[in-house]
Structure 1
Amino acid sequence: MFPNLQYLNFGRSSIWDERLYFFLTRPTVISTNLLELHVSLRTFYDCLYLLDGHFNQLHTLYVDLDLIGDLNREVNNIKKLPSLKCFWLHCKMITFVYDEFVLPLLQRMSNLEKLDLCINVGRRKRFFDDNDLKMNIINYMPQLNKFTFNICSLSSFYNEINLPSNEHIQKTFSNFNNKQIIYWTDYFPKEKYGYCHIYSYPYQLKYYNKITNNFPGGIFKYVRQVSLHDERPFEHEFFLRIAESFPFMEELIIRNHEQQINKQFRKSKNGNQDLSIIKYPYLKQLNLIDTCIDYYEQFLFDTKMDLAFGVRVGMIYGLVKEVTHNFTRNRTRNNCAKINYVNLRTEIQYGGYPDKFSGEQQQIPEYIKDYFPHTQID
């Protein structure tokens, strides 16, 4: 329809997560004029399909991927891409075929000048390290002058003694003196896997996921969505650090079933003043579904947290009932009155496992609406 088109931005729908998908149809899409393309795609196959000679003059490609999985269909991932100067690849879902498919694609871009890579890599016994950056990417791109990245790496392990230390890994990045690189790791012995996060700083993304107690801190003014997860408890001081690092945070998801150790300790380290009441002034959504009761206290006690007005919250009904003393407690009344919408899951927990439910439904009594005077309750 537009034979002279040089720039095209074909993004996701604002209502549905609709993405282009060529695996079944393989339409003939060819343009010798298109120079810059921004596109949301379903699979990695669709990305390779677009680069299989369909746009031979393309110099800039932005790809937002839903999934990077096994290729069940043959497609060219060998031919060089000499015209490509700028490549942007983002995928939130974890991939276990990074080495088999993503690396060969990057190594085809010998004239690339700008690269932005955001990806989650799963490997059995090895983290993403300096060789992945330097030996497997940068050395294949002699013209590269701007490289921004955010790479999360998960690796299963069985013997923590053999795992590299943070100090050892940090030394491997000594060759990147002209770049500010943040690297940190954590280990989850119960779930038997290790986690590392490496990114170029300043951080440009709107989300920062899977933050643990090992989070190194920093200021992330662009981040709006944050998720926390650990096998060790998050103490009050940790939530203070989150407030300092993410001043414009709008959405917070917490996953932690470990009880706080210092929840009764209300003095700061210097011993002469109470711990500060935490404020997340821009918070709009809070998810406490996958936590224990200590984090209900952390966010509903007005002596610990000053919730923003109009926040939407997800919680377990039984834990809310307990922490509010059956919706009579004054210490939690102020923050509950600020909630605009609350989703109260009513499943009954059983067997001591907070993530397993009997399926039996509880009825929410009418009188709790007085405790949430400005709240839509589901």
Structure 2
Amino acid sequence: MQARLLLEDGTLFTGLGFGAEGQSTGEVVFNTGITGYQEVLSDPSYCGQIVTMTYPLIGNYGIARNDFECISPFIHGFVVRRHEPVPSNWRAEYTLDRLLKEYGIIGISDIDTRMLTRKLRHFGTMKGILSTGAERVEELQERLGLSTIMTNQVDRTSTKSIFSSPGEGERIVLIDYGAKSGILRDLTKRGCDVIVVPHDTTAEQIRRLKPDGIQLSNGPGDPKDVPHAVETIKQLLGEYPMFGICLGHQLFALACGADTSKLKFGHRGGNHPVKELATNRCYITSQNHGYTVLEESVKGTSLEVTHINNNDRTIEGLKHTQYPAFSVQYHPEAAPGPYDSGYLFDEFLEMIRTHKKENPQRPRQAHLAESLRGELQYAQK
């Protein structure tokens, strides 16, 4: 099956199709990860994007049940140099081709992904259209010209209702802007009592859940497209310890008076070096974002830069100088990528414990199922 990828600058790639058939438009980006294509496909932060894998062989270890980062992928297309239809891996349950077919995702292989990546690095990310049909190039150009970059990705990827993952430890409200499952896994394995809420949950609804801390999740798109999230963070900042990841980091920065802007081609991969300024130590991190916090905008705010990217010197971490709140641009939960930064979840929990000692309150009621159910129902009203 022939497939074509047309970029908005007129560049046409012709290759072999796999996965679903049809047409799909989106922002064309690239990921430098050697492994982890299943996690990339199922990362909600790729909503609305056509992802190019720079590693030349994709599909060789198949698809495993435990490696999904969300139940239903939101990616708009998948571009690889070579698609391996027959995986060799004892964990594999089915093939990459089958996964793409099940979720209606178009894949294209046998194109020069190195040339495509160099073009995106030089000119920046751009719109593209994937097609497995026989349309004329002029028809594809017309449809691509009429398409727009999505602005409602957070609404599409966030949970629609509150749900809980009970635990005996600190109660964490995870605000879902398009959260990866890895964040929930890291919190629950530390014994946290996690309540996941939709992106538009109000500050008052969150207060009624009586959290010990608030986790701001990752998510897709421009942080300025979700101004209600910024307002909610402003209202909660200082009341509860807060930890932001990726989009949550950008929203945290906006809530504190800083500004964000779009990167030329973003950071997407599992091997980005980040320096922690306090220790001068370098961590290898997993990243997936197209926006960054502007360094000059941090001056004059109550924020302090804690981490920087060793490749381009962009901001990778912030902390509030008055309140127990911090954030990082990268993914400490990895999935895929290194686990160098998993300690940040431990620092978040230690921050919560310190805050509770310094601000003693009446002990929260035991985590009885009936009590929690009542709180959830009240918060949803």
TM-score computed with the length of structure 1 as normaliser: 0.24
Structure with higher RCO (Cα < 8 A, 6+ apart): 2
| Structure whose alpha-carbon radius of gyration is higher | 1
Structure that is richer in helix per residue: 2
TM-score computed with the length of structure 2 as normaliser: 0.24
